[in-house]
Amino acid sequence: GSCRQHGPIMSHPPYEESDLSAALFLQLVMDGGAEDLSTGTDSNDAGTCALTANASDTRPTRSTDSTCRPIRHIKLDFKQIEAVGPVMDILKSTHRPRYGQTIFLNADVLPGPGVREHSSVTVQAKQFIEACFRYIDSMPDEYATNFAFSLGYKADYRSGEPYNKQDVTLMSEIVSQYNIES
């Protein structure tokens, strides 16, 4: 399958199959529809576009109402560039971040320790950042500040190889080029 046939799924390499679609995950987490994601079912189990996400709860600090639902911050970890557009379309059409909620847009956009010489990244920085900005720029202004980039390195830590000055310089150039310093 592909993203166009099945839609993006929630998985992490080396796994490429999952019974949890990105659409269902976002519905459950962003809308606060479930405390336990394992109870959700979805027929979208044959997709191949990998996306991982982590949801963390933070309690609102200015509310004294004990029934107030937590704000769930989400990190969407894109493993394939083909998943970015469909996930952004899902976000745009069905979900609106609540005040104070941050959605972290993450991808390993540079080769790092242990893979510099023999591996390339599957998500290129230019494609990833520009695809995300197309979505963010189409959102109402009050939602645009709910997004943050989390750019990383594809690395094999078993190599024992450290990050180097060139790693930092290349990432700094990307961050500066797209004005995503803060």
pLDDT tens for residues 109-149? 999 999 988 777 889 999 999 999 998 888 877 777 788 99
The neighbouring-strand residues paired with 10 are 51
Q: Which residues contact 135 (CB under 8 A, 6 or more apart)?
A: 88, 89, 91, 92
Across the chain, mean pLDDT equals 75
What is this structure's pTM? 0.73
Indicate if the pLDDT at residue 169 is higher than 90.
yes
Do 105 and 131 contact (CB within 8 A), yes or no? no
The set of residues, in sequence order, having a beta carbon less than 8 Å from that of 124 and lying 6+ positions away, is 81, 109
